Chains A and B, each alone.
Chain A
Amino acid sequence: GESVGLHLPTLSVQEGDNSIINCAYSNSASDYFIWYKQESGKGPQFIIDIRSNMDKRQGQRVTVLLNKTVKHLSLQIAATQPGDSAVYFCAEKAGGSSGSARQLTFGSGTQLTVLP
Chain B
Amino acid sequence: DSGVTQTPKHLITATGQRVTLRCSPRSGDLSVYWYQQSLDQGLQFLIQYYNGEERAKGNILERFSAQQFPDLHSELNLSSLELGDSALYFCASSPTWDRGNGYTFGSGTRLTVV
Residues of A within 8 A of B (CB): 32, 34, 36, 41-46, 49, 89, 91, 98-100, 102-109
Contact = CB atoms under 8 A, between A and B. Distances in A.
Nearest to A91: B43
> DSSP class of B's interface residues: helix, strand, loop or mixed?
strand
B1 to A, nearest CB: 11
A28 B56 CA distance: 21
A104 B103 CA distance: 9
B42 A106 contact: yes
B107 A41 contact: yes
Contacts of A108: 42
Given A32-B101, A42-B107, A99-B55, A104 B45 contact: yes
- The interface size bin for chain B is 20 to 34
Contacts, number: 57
Contact of A43 (B44, B102, B108): B108
Interface of B: 2, 4, 33, 35, 42-45, 48, 55-58, 90, 92, 97-98, 101-108
Contacts of B33: 103-104
Contacts of B45: 103-105
A43 B56 contact: no
A43 B57 CA distance: 21
Nearest to B88: A43
B68 to A, nearest CB: 14
Contacts of A104: 33, 45, 103
B42 A44 contact: no
What are the 5 closest A-B residue pairs judged by CB atoms, nearest first? Answer: A43-B105, A99-B56, A106-B43, A46-B102, A100-B56
